[in-house]
Chain A
Amino acid sequence: MARDMSDKEILKMELEQLKKEVSTPRTPVGANCAETIAFVEGLLPNDPLIKGVPDDKNPYKGDKGGCIIT
Chain B
Amino acid sequence: MRSPLTPEMATQEVQLNETLAHLKTESETLKTKLEEERAKLHDVELHQVAEKVEGLGQFVMKTRRTLKGHGNKVLCMDWCKDKRRIVSSSQDGKVIVWDAFTTNKEHAVTMPCTWVMACAYAPSGCAVACGGLDNKCSVYPLSLDKNENLAAKKKSVAMHTNYLSACSFTNSDMQILTSSGDGTCALWDVESGQLLQSFHGHAADVLCLDLAPSETGNTFVSGGCDKKANVWDMRSGQCIQSFETHESDINSVRYYPSGDAFASGSDDATCRLYDLRADREVAIYSKESIIFGVSSVDFSLSGRLLFGGYNDYTINVWDVLKGTRVSILFGHENRVSTLRVSPDGTAFCTGSWDHTLRIWA
Instruction: Give me the interface of A with B, judged by CB distance under 8 Å.
Output: 1-3, 7-8, 10-15, 17-22, 24, 26-30, 32-37, 39-44, 46-50, 53, 58-61, 64-66
User: Which A residues lie within 8 Å of B161 (CB)?
Assistant: 1, 3
Q: Assess whether B359 is interfacial by the CB under 8 Å rule.
A: yes
Contact (Cβ within 8 A) A3 B30? no
Which 7 pairs from chain A and chain B are nearest by CB?
A2-B183, A43-B302, A60-B64, A47-B302, A18-B30, A65-B102, A33-B49
Most chain A beta carbons < 10 A, residue from B23, B53, B260 = B23
B239 touches A17 (CB 8 A): yes
Instruction: Let me know if A36 and B101 touch, CB within 8 A.
Output: no
Q: Is B56 an interface residue (CB 8 A)?
A: yes
Q: What's the nearest-Cβ distance from chain A to residue B237, in Å?
A: 13
Binding site for A on B (CB under 8 A): 16, 19-20, 23-24, 26-27, 30-31, 33-34, 37-38, 41-46, 49-50, 53, 56, 61, 64-65, 84, 100-103, 161-162, 182-184, 200-205, 226, 238-242, 256-258, 260-261, 275, 277-280, 282, 300-305, 320-321, 341, 344-348, 359, 361
Cβ of B260: which chain A residues have Cβ within 8 Å of it?
Answer: 32, 35-36
**Bound Cα distance A67, B242 (Å):** 53
Across the interface, which residues of B come within 8 angstroms of A7, CB to CB? 20
Nearest Cβ distance between residue B340 and chain A, in whole angstroms?
13
Are A53 and B30 touching (Cβ within 8 A)? no
Q: Chain B nearest CB: distance from A61 CB in Å?
A: 7
Q: Please state if B41 and A13 are interface contacts (CB–CB under 8 Å).
A: no
Instruction: List the count of A-B residue pairs having beta carbons below 8 Å apart.
Output: 181
Whether the pair B20, A8 counts as a contact (CB closer than 8 A) is yes
Chain A positions within 8 Å of B341 at CB level: 49
> B interface, by DSSP: helix, strand, loop or mixed?
loop
Pairwise interchain contact B30-A2, C-beta atoms closer than 8 A: no
Task: Report yes or no: B182 in contact with A3, Cβ–Cβ below 8 A.
Answer: yes
Verify A33–B275 contact, CB threshold 8 A.
Answer: yes
The reply to whether B239 and A1 contact each other, CB–CB distance below 8 Å, is: no
9 CB-based A-B contacts, threshold 8 Å = A1-B161, A28-B278, A33-B282, A43-B304, A48-B361, A49-B305, A49-B345, A49-B361, A53-B346
Q: 10 additional contacts, CB 8 Å, given A36-B258, A46-B302, A49-B301?
A: A1-B161, A3-B204, A10-B203, A11-B23, A13-B203, A28-B278, A29-B280, A39-B257, A48-B344, A61-B361
Chain B's nearest CB lies how many Å from the CB of A24? 6
- Chain A residues contacting B240 (CB-CB under 8 Å) are 24
CB atoms of B346 and A60 under 8 A apart: yes
Kindly provide the distance from the CB of B224 to the nearest chain A CB, expressed in whole angstroms: 9
Q: Would A36 and B303 count as touching, CB distance under 8 A? A: yes
- B304 lies within 8 A of A40 (CB): yes
Q: Looking at A3, A7, A40, A43, which has the most chain B CB atoms within 10 Å of its CB?
A: A40
CB distance from A64 to the nearest CB of B (A): 6
Kindly identify which residue among B277, B345, B359 contacts A27, using a CB–CB cutoff of 8 Å. Answer: B277
Could you say which residues of chain B place their CB within 8 Å of the CB of A17?
201, 239, 242
- Residues of chain B within 8 A of A50, CB atoms compared: 56, 300, 302, 304-305
* Residue in B37, B226, B346 with the greatest tally of chain A CB atoms within 10 Å: B346
Asked whether A26 lies within 8 Å of B305 as measured between CB atoms, the reply is no
